[in-house]
Structure formats: structure tokens, C-alpha cells
Amino acid sequence: MKHSVNRPPTPDAAEDQGKEPPLQEIINVKLIESGEKERLMELLRERLIDCGWKDEMKALCRAHVKKKGRNNVTVDDLVHLITPKGRASVPDSVKAELLQRIRTFLMSAAL
Amino acid sequence: MSGPNEDKNTQLSSHFFGDLLDSIIVDVASECHRIAKLGLDRNLEEEEEEMRLSVQARARVADPSNSSETNTKYVVDIFGQTHPSIATEIFECMNCGRSIAAGRFAPHLEKCMGKGRKARLKVTRSSTAAQNRYSRGSPVSAYSPYSNSTSTNRLSNGTPSVAGEEYSNGTYEEPWNKT
């Protein structure tokens, strides 16, 4: 799957509350509209594949499926399974690279 | 480079990084789920089972005592059926009307319709005199019953050659004409 399953909440939701959309939302919208979010995702995906992170996660999933039986596994199960390990096992270099790029974007989109 | 701004920046960056990572994690989980449900990625037990079966099959095939000649009658196919090496179903030859075994049909047809001197003689004896003149005159004539490639086409059109007479009634089926 190439595209993110998570959709950011539409700006209307924030406006209905009667206050300024939080900074996070504004930046999120800018990220998406400029296409930078997609680029960052692709970059992160590529890095995670190259360093073997994706294979580790797939191995975890496979082991879980084998244990539970393939008809008893939901996407939710797998997400909850690999989220903690996945977050913890991103290589520092990859994390640093992405953070740097995000920070650059934030500064260029400075409000 | 003010302190609080830097912190805010860092915080925001981390937030977005986490966002990206979560999306990717969901993608990976979804992919693994799909592979598991579709059975695209073999489980270890299944693999072991298949390995065992394939080793068994290979042993049976490679076994030198199973010579193909002696054992074709006893070899079982994937549906569990055995069949003799020469097909035994019986058909009627549309040319001469004899009952022929399916496995012997091709050689029979060769002699019956085709290449041999004997076949030619057999046909001309029973055909009309006019046809004889045509067929002896040009080897590739339309009425020649013994040039195999043209005759098969002609016969289906019902031209008045020996075998063709049967077809002009439109009753005869030619299983060997259909490719």
C-alpha cells in the first residue's frame, strides 16, 4: 500500500469549535498541500526498507499469524503488535535525517 | 535561536515524525494482514507438509525400478485414475466405416486416406470414372481425395469426392477437422 491510511482531520472540524486551528493543524495542512508530507513518507519508507526494519516487522507479523492462525488475525492486532517495537527500533540515523528535513520545512514555512 | 522556539520546533518535528511512522506501521500491518489472509506467504507447517509431499513424489519419479514402459498401466494420475498407454476407445472411421481404436486411429487414417499406394487404389476402385480422370490428371485437384491438406477442407464443404458424399448430407461429424 502506497498511500497512508490515516487521513488528517479536515480543517472544518477545528473551525466549528470557534477558535483558531492549532499550529499543528496549520502546519499539517501545509505539509500536505505542498506535497512534502508525501515526499517525507516515501523517504522514510525507503530508509526503513533499506535498513531491514520493514523485514523485521513483517517477521513479527508472520510469527503472530502462525501462532494465532491466519483466519484469526485482524489488522488491528498487527498494528498493536508492531507499533511499540516499530517505534523503538528505527535506526538513529534514519530518525535524525527525517527530523532534520521536517525541521527545515517548519522553518521555511515559518509563521 | 531562542530556546522555547527551538523546543517547540523539536516537539513539532517529533510529532510529525511519529505521524509518518504510524502511517507506515499501519501500511506494513495491512500488507502482512493481506498476505496472511490470501495465503500468499506459506506458513512453516504448510511448507513442511508440502516439502514432505514433494520429496515423496520426487522419490517415486526418480525410482529406477519404475521404468516408464512397464508401469504406465499402473501409474496413477492426479485424479487417481489409471489408463492404458494406448487409448482404447473405439470410433468409426468416416472414410472406410471400420471400427478403429482411438490409439490406432492416426496410422489407420494414413493408410485409409492418404499417403499409400494401396489407399489410392482402394479409392479409385469405388469412385466414378469422371473422378478418376480428374484425380489422376492433377495431383492437387479439388476432387482429389488423397491430398490430405486440401481434401480435409473440401470434404467439409461436401464436394463430390468419395468421402465427401457422406458429408454433403450434413450428418457427419469430423472431430479431426477441428483444431
> What domains, with CATH codes, occur in chain A?
36-109 (1.10.246.140)
Q: How many residues does chain A have?
A: 111
Which has more pLDDT, A61 or B99?
A61
| Predicted confidence (pLDDT) at residue B179 exceeds the cutoff of 70 | no
| B105 pLDDT tier (thresholds 50, 70, 90) | confident
Residue spans of beta strands (DSSP E) within A1-111: none
Sign, Cα dihedral of B34, B36, B42, B46: negative
> How many other CB atoms sit within 10 Å of the CB of residue B62?
8
- B52 and B93 both lie in a single domain: no
Q: Which residue of A has its CA nearest to B14?
A: A99
For A11-60, the pLDDT digits (tens) are: 665 455 556 778 889 999 999 999 999 999 999 999 999 999 999 999 99
**Per-residue pLDDT averaged across B94-112, rounded?**
84
From chain B, the residues in CB contact with A102 under 8 A are 12-13, 16-17
Q: Decide: A27 and A107 in contact? Cβ < 8 Å.
A: no
CATH number of the CATH domain containing B110: 3.30.160
pLDDT in tens, B46-93: 666 777 788 888 887 776 665 554 454 566 778 877 777 777 788 888
Exposed (0-12), middle (13-18) or buried (19+): which is B41, by Cβ within 10 Å?
Answer: middle
Cβ pair A103:B10 closer than 8 A: yes
| CB count in 10 Å sphere of residue B60 | 10
Q: Which of A41, A65, A81 sits opposite B20 (nearest CB)?
A: A41
Cell of A98: 527525517
User: Do B36 and A73 make contact, defined as CB atoms within 8 angstroms?
Assistant: yes
Residue B133 above 70 pLDDT? no
The answer, yes or no, to whether residue B38 has pLDDT greater than 70, is yes
- With CA atoms as reference, the chain B residue closest to A58 would be B32
Tell me the C-alpha distance between B71 and B82, whole Å: 10
Q: Are residues B56 and B94 in the same domain?
A: no
C-alpha–C-alpha distance, residues B160 and B163, integer Å: 8
Instruction: Give the domain extent around B34.
Output: 11-60
Do the domain assignments include residue B163? no
- Number of structural domains, chain B? 2
User: Left, alpha or beta for A69 (phi > 0: left; psi -120 to 50: alpha)?
Assistant: left
Amino acid at B82: T
- Select from A37, A60, A89, A102 the residue whose CB has the most chain B CBs within 10 Å, as the one to mutate to test that interface: A102
The whole-angstrom distance between B10's CA and the closest CA on chain A is 7
Residue B142 has pLDDT above 90, yes or no: no
Lowest pLDDT segment from A80-84, A90-94, B17-21, B137-141: B137-141
Is it the case that residue B40 has pLDDT exceeding 70? yes
Q: Report which of residues B157 and B5 the model is more confident about.
A: B5
The shortest CB-CB distance from B37 to any of A23, A48, A70 is to A70
Prediction pTM value: 0.49
Q: Is residue B29 part of a domain?
A: yes
